[in-house]
Amino acid sequence: MLNFARVITVSQNSQKVLLASVFSSACINCPSIRTCRHSAKTFTALNVKNFNLEEGNIVRIALKTPVRILQGLCALFLPITLCILGLIFAPALFKMTNFPANIQFSETIRFLAGIAAFFLGELAVFIFSRATFIPLSPIIKQKI
């Protein structure tokens, strides 16, 4: 990830900065970018290079390479792995939960358990992507 963002607030020690994402390159050339209040996603970034930042500044941000790799692997493999595990372990799970004996366990129920596990993985990726973990925060690379 290498994007531009607008500074909203700077913490007291200027290490944490609240940013709003800039959606397009046209936003950078807009004369009202420093005061624009369009609905943009806000997030926190780290100011490790100690730039002198003020509200409205435009900065370039980036994620560390290991973080990008981790995000890609989690987004791809977590839902698929949970789906496969749901398909494999659905019969054992239903036996442990006292599934009614008069209802036959079928491939349809196994399929539905796999789909439910897949969406559980998607939900986990969604929640993880919205959480703020300081080691996983983007870093401000440049003040524009």
Give pLDDT tens digits for 43-64: 888 888 888 888 888 898 888 8
pLDDT tens for 102-118 read: 556 678 888 999 999 99
Comparing CA positions, the residue from 60, 79, 84 lying closest to residue 139 is 60
Query: Taking all residues of the chain, what is their mean pLDDT, rounded to a whole number?
Result: 80
- Residue 26 is predicted with a pLDDT of 57
Helical (H) or strand (E) element with 94? helix 65-96
Indicate the burial class of 91 (C-beta count within 10 angstroms; 0-12, 13-18, 19 or more).
Answer: middle
Helical (H) or strand (E) element with 54? none
